[in-house]
DNA sequence: TTAAACTTTCAGAAATTATTGAAACTTTAT
DNA sequence: ATAAAGTTTCAATAATTTCTGAAAGTTTAA
């Protein structure tokens, strides 16, 4: 396999993986592209590499910036914007995890709390509902907290975790 | 809020969360429904509760069984099939994690390995590609292994992990 | 100012994903 | 063997998500 083919395969794979985890494929591909780039890239370069429209590129770059994993850059003497990506994978994973927690997990937790707090007639059906949603709330909260704890130090958290595990 | 409303809200929320993580909404809802059920349910009961067609119910139940988080049950004297869900959340999370690893992470890892193994002319661009995809491969592999390690004991792995973390 | 360079927005189109429902298939009981 | 009961499949349709491209908006330079 030569470089060009490997690069395409890598970008496709990363896009597909993103897709499977509920992330826009193009968004994942833009990030993949920026991760292996030696230089900061302009929107035209991104459009050209991935064969996508300006609108699509613009919106997805903006999303990546909102997520905190792509950064706006500038070149002296150039008017247009350039972009770079977080390349430190420990930091990248933490940022994504925190963001997903904030956007998706915590709102779901609030609702689990809410629905598990109904006061019940004491039918089995209602008791079981409360019991199971309470368990679900407690479990998800615990998992969310563990993730937070584990990633407290953005630098090298994964290696640090492994060390804790083997002890 | 009374029971009926809470139940609907819970099922909607679980479906939406599933959706955001790349899981079919109906599939997540069926699982949610089975998790709070005191009894095993027939396909008709599931169709009725979620207002979905037989085909949809059948296909998604089958998927849940393939995932290993819903089980086929039978009632003596009844010909049709009934279904129940894994209710132990530690076990549930492990099963989902292992399955996603097998289906999504490991295939991606194989490709990362492959693309990072190209032999290069020594241009910066190609060196950077190899370096970054190697890092990505190593990181994802490590994370995948940690997950495996942490969930080695299906029972109470989350609590056990927390204990390790505070030590 | 003005206008050129660049970026964002968003309505419509395209692509993808999910759902339906009925036919085909399978299993069980007689 | 036959039929009734139940399940699966899948082509057609619906719903949702993504993408395009051009108009509108913004910024910078002269």
Beta carbons of A165 and B146 less than 8 angstroms apart: yes
Q: What are residue A74's DSSP bridge partners?
A: A81
CB within 8 Å: A139 and B89:
yes
Q: Which of A5, A22, A93 to mutate to test the interface with B (most CBs of B within 10 A)?
A: A22
Residues A95 and A120 in one domain: yes
- Do residues A69 and A30 touch, judged by C-beta distance below 8 A? no
Whether residues A51 and A94 share a domain: the answer is no
Q: What is the pLDDT of residue A122?
A: 83
Contact present, A142 and B158 (Cβ < 8 Å) = yes
Give the pLDDT score at B120.
84
Average pLDDT over residues A46-62: 98
Residues B62 and B11 in one domain: yes
Identify the closest residue of chain B to A145 by CA–CA distance: B162
| Structural domain count of chain B | 2
Do residues A26 and A54 both lie within one domain?
A: yes
Provide the mean pLDDT of chain A: 96
CA dist B152 and A57 (Å) reads: 42
Predicted ipTM of the assembly = 0.94
Q: What is the DSSP secondary-structure string of A114-134? A: HHHT------HHHHHHHHHHH
Residue B1 scores a pLDDT above 90? no
pLDDT at A2: 92
Both B104 and B34 in one domain: the answer is: no
Q: Which of A55, A70, A85 is the last residue of a domain?
A: A85
Q: How far is the CA of B33 from the C1' of D30 (A)?
A: 67
Q: Among B85, B103, B134, which residue terminates a domain?
A: B85
End-of-domain residue from the set B65, B85, B105: B85
The reply to whether B146 touches chain A by the CB within 8 Å rule is yes
Chain B residue with Cα closest to A139: B89
Co-location of B18 and B60 in the same domain: yes
Chain B residues 51-80 with CB within 8 Å of chain A: none
Using CB atoms, which residue from B3, B6, B165 is nearest to A149? B165
Q: B66 and B99 share a domain?
A: no
Residue B122 has pLDDT above 90, yes or no: no
**Minimal Cβ distance to A36: which of B20, B35, B132:** B132
Please check whether residues A48 and A79 belong to one and the same domain. yes
Contact flag B129-A165 (C-beta cutoff 8 Å): no
What integer pLDDT is reported at residue B121 of this predicted model?
Answer: 82
Give me the A residues in range 75-94 that sit within 7 A (CB) of strand D.
Answer: 79
Supply the range of the domain harboring residue A99. Answer: 89-166
- Answer yes or no: is B26 CB < 7 A from strand C: yes
> In terms of domains, do B66 and B135 share one?
no
CATH code where residue B68 lies? 1.10.10.10
| Cα angle value A144/A150/A155 (rounded, 5°) | 130
CA separation, residue B54 to residues B15, B23, B59 (Å) = 18, 19, 9
Among all protein residues, pick the one whose CA is nearest to the C1' atom of C6.
A80
Closest Cα in chain B, distance from residue A62 (Å): 19
A–B interface: beta-carbon pairs under 8 A: 143
Whole-number distance in Å between A7 CA and C14 C1': 27
A62: tokens are 């903006």
Contact present, B81 and B72 (Cβ < 8 Å): yes
SS3 A153: coil
Query: Tokens 């005191």 correspond to what residue?
Result: B38
Give the pLDDT mean for A110-115.
Answer: 98
Q: How far apart are CA A105 and CA A112, in angstroms?
A: 10
Assigned token pair, A138: 């407690």
What is the per-residue pLDDT across B35-67, written as a single tens digit (0 to 9) for each?
999 999 999 999 999 999 999 999 999 999 999
Residues B7 and B81 in one domain: yes
Based on the fold, state whether residues A77 and A139 are members of the same structural domain: no
């Amino acid at each position: 396999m030569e470089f060009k083919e490997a690069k395409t395969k890598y970008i496709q794979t990363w896009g597909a993986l993103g897709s499977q985890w509920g992330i826009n494929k193009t968004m994942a591909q833009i990030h993949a592209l920026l991760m292996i780039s030696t230089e900061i890239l302009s929107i035209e370069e991104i459009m050209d590499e991935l064969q996508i429209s300006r609108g699509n590129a613009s919106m997805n770059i903006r999303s990546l910036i909102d997520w905190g994993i792509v950064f706006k850059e500038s070149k002296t003497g150039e008017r247009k914007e350039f972009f770079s990506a977080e390349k430190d994978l420990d930091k990248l994973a933490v940022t994504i995890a925190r963001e997903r927690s904030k956007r998706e997990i915590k709102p779901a937790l609030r609702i689990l709390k809410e629905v598990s707090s109904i006061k019940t007639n004491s039918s089995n059906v209602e008791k079981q509902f409360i019991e199971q949603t309470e368990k679900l709330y407690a479990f998800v909260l615990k998992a969310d907290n563990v993730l937070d704890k584990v990633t407290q130090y953005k630098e090298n958290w994964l290696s640090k975790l492994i060390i804790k595990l083997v002890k």
